[in-house]
Amino acid sequence: MTAALVAGLVAGYGIAVPVGAVGTYLVSLTARTSLRTGVCAALGVAAADGLYALLATAGGAAVATALRPVLTPLRWASALVLLTLATVGAVSAVRRYRAHRLSVLGDRSAPPPPSPVRAFLSLLGITLLNPTTVVYFAALVLGNGAADAVRPLEQGLFVLAAFAASASWQLLLAGSGALLGRALTGHRGRLATALVSSGVMTVLAVRMLL
């Protein structure tokens, strides 16, 4: 059981630590909203990782094989979502900045921030669009032996450990976003961070397509 726990922790950190488009968006979202919203968004990402870990331990090679034919369409869908988020974020930031400069509408022109529940569901959906995660977990499970040879208790420990590892890292990113939001409270700072975040997400989306 200890081996399953350690394997789950290593697997969870292995898939979560590389900061990609989802991590960048998580930091930006928390900086623009609140720590509570960021925590819920972080748990949405971790829930998706935990779900894919569960699918991998339950289905193993069968799940990975079934997903391979749809990897390309899902990759395009994921890239489209990221490009949309990048565009909306950049346009909204520029509009808020211009409204403040003109002193006409000020921040009232900004769209209302997402609720914690909406943030959780949004990040859960975005992360679920990355099916390569289940292939990653399936490869780890199969690399340690046949999936059907692993006992249910060990499978459960593996999944819980993977979820806990992913959640701890995503919460760290959310906390970083909260600190960033406090440090860059000015309108120019928020504009800069929003544009940088949108740029990073755009580059990662294009790399995903290529």
Reported as a pLDDT band with limits 50, 70 and 90, residue 111 is low
User: Which of 130, 148, 127 has the alpha carbon at shortest distance from 61?
Assistant: 148
CA neighbor of 203 nearest in space, from 51, 79, 115, 23: 79
Confidence class of residue 149 from pLDDT cuts 50, 70 and 90? very low
In this model, does residue 122 exceed pLDDT 80?
Answer: yes
Q: Is 128 helix (H, G, I), strand (E, B) or coil?
A: helix
Give the 3-state secondary structure of residue 131. Answer: coil
Listed in sequence order, the DSSP H helices in the chain are: 2-16, 21-32, 35-59, 61-67, 71-102, 116-128, 132-143, 152-183, 187-209
pLDDT at residue number 106: 44
When pLDDT is averaged across residues 30-45 and rounded to a whole number, the result is 91
pLDDT tens-digit series, residues 184-198: 555 666 677 667 767
pLDDT for position 105? 43
pTM over 0.85: no
| Enclosing domain of residue 121 | 2-209
> H or E stretch including 104?
none
Q: Total domain count for the chain?
A: 1
| Coil vs helix vs strand at 151 | coil
